[in-house]
C-alpha cells in the first residue's frame, strides 16, 4: 500500500515529558511499521522542537522530504492531561507551523508520479485554509487515490461546514462513539446510535466503509450491504493517545490486503489495544506481540 498522509506533526507535552505525535503523523508511523510505503506532508518550525521532530522522523523510517521547515512559525505542541483511566484531555496550541504546510511544484509532481493508493487527513489540520487548499489540490491531482478521513473532533477545532465537506469527499471514514453523537447533533446525521449513524451515512454519503471505534468494547465496520461488530481486547491501559491512529493504520492494512471485514476489525482492535497499553502515541510494537494478544482474547 502507498499511503500519503497530510496533517499535523507536533509534540505531545505530558507531565513527564514530550513525545512526538499528531494524528496523521501517528497514522503514518504505524502504517510504516506495518511495512507500507508512506509519505507524510506537514511543516515544522525552524526551532529546536522542529529539528528534533525531523530527526525522530528519520529514526522511525519516514521521509522528511515533504515536511517544510518554516522560520517564524513554532513547531506544533499540545498539552496532554490524563485522567485516572488513561483518557487524555488536549490543549492545542495554535497557530503552529503545520497550519502553513505547502508543497512546491516539483514536490507535487513527485507525489503525482508516485501514485498513492490512499490520501489520509483529519479535521484539525483542515481548519487551516492553507492546509485545506493543499489537501483539496492533492485530491484533485491524484484522483485515483482513495480518501481516508479520520473525523477526530477536538474542542474548538472543527466547524459543521468543514466536517460536512470532508465527509462528502471521503471513501472511508472513521469516527468514535462520542463522535457518532456529535455528528447527530452537528449535522443531523443518524439518530445518535452506532447503527443509526452507519445507516444514515451510507444513504447520505455512499462511503465504501464506515468505521466506528468503541474503545475497550471494540469496533463496528459497515459497508452499504453489511455490518460487522468486533469485540475489543482487555489490556492494562497506560494511555489511549495514538490508539485510534494505530487502529486506522491497521484498518487500511487489512483493507489493502483484501481481508474479510471481520478480520480487518479484529486486527485493528488488537493493534489499538497494544498501543493503548504503552505510553505515548507511537510506542514500539511488533506483529508477534499483536498475534500473542489474540491468544489472550
At residue 295, the pLDDT reads 46
Task: Locate 65 and state its grid cell.
Answer: 522530504
Local structure of residue 156 (DSSP, 8 states) = T
At residue 4, the pLDDT reads 98
- Which residues, in sequence order, are CB contacts of 84 under 8 Å at separation 6+? none
Q: Give the whole-number percent of the chain exceeding pLDDT 90.
A: 84
Return the H-helix or E-strand segment holding 99: none
**pLDDT, tens digit (0-9, with 9 covering 90-100), for 21-80:** 999 999 999 999 999 999 999 999 999 999 999 999 999 999 999 999 999 999 999 998
Tell me which CATH code domain 2-295 carries.
3.40.1190.20
The count of other CB atoms within 10 Å of the CB of residue 108 is 17
**pLDDT, tens digit (0-9, with 9 covering 90-100), for 195-241:** 999 989 989 999 999 999 999 999 999 998 899 999 999 899 888 88
Return the H-helix or E-strand segment holding 82: strand 76-82
At residue 241, the pLDDT reads 85
Overall average pLDDT of the 107-127 stretch = 97
At residue 47, the pLDDT reads 97
Q: Give the whole-number percent of the chain exceeding pLDDT 70.
A: 98
Domain positions in the chain are 2-295
Amino acid at each position: 500500500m502507498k499511503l500519503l498522509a497530510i496533517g499535523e506533526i507536533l509534540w505531545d507535552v505530558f507531565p513527564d515529558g514530550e513525545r512526538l505525535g499528531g494524528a496523521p503523523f501517528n497514522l503514518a508511523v504505524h502504517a510504516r511499521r506495518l511495512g507500507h510505503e508512506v509519505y507524510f506532508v506537514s511543516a515544522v518550525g525552524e526551532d529546536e522542537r522542529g529539528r528534533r521532530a525531523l530527526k525522530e522522523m528519520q529514526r522511525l523510517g519516514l521521509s522528511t522530504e515533504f515536511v517544510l521547515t518554516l522560520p517564524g512559525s513554532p513547531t506544533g505542541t499540545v498539552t496532554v492531561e490524563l485522567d485516572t483511566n488513561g483518557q487524555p484531555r488536549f490543549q492545542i496550541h495554535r497557530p503552529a507551523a503545520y497550519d502553513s504546510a505547502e508543497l512546491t511544484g516539483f514536490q507535487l509532481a513527485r507525489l503525482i508520479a508516485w501514485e498513492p493508493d490512499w490520501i489520509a487527513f483529519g479535521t484539525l489540520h483542515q481548519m487551516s485554509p492553507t492546509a485545506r487548499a493543499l489537501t483539496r489540490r492533492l485530491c484533485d491531482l491524484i484522483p485515483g487515490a482513495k480518501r481516508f478521513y479520520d473525523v477526530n473532533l477536538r474542542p474548538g477545532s472543527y466547524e459543521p461546514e468543514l466536517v460536512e465537506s470532508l465527509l462528502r469527499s471521503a471513501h472511508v471514514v472513521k469516527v468514535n462513539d462520542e463522535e457518532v453523537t456529535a455528528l447527530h447533533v452537528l449535522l443531523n446525521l443518524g439518530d445518535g446510535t452506532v447503527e443509526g449513524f452507519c445507516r444514515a451515512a451510507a444513504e447520505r454519503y455512499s462511503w465504501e466503509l464506515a468505521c466506528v471505534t468503541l474503545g475497550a468494547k471494540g469496533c463496528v465496520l459497515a459497508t452499504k450491504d453489511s455490518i460487522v461488530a468486533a469485540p475489543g481486547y482487555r489490556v492494562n491501559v497506560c494511555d489511549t493517545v495514538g490508539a485510534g491512529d494505530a487502529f486506522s493504520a491497521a484498518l487500511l492494512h487489512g483493507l489493502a490486503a483484501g481481508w474479510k471485514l471481520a478480520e480487518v476489525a479484529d486486527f485493528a482492535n488488537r493493534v489499538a489495544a497494544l498501543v493503548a497499553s504503552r505510553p505515548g502515541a507511537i510506542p514500539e510494537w511488533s506483529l508477534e506481540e499483536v498475534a500473542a494478544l489474540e491468544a489472550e482474547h
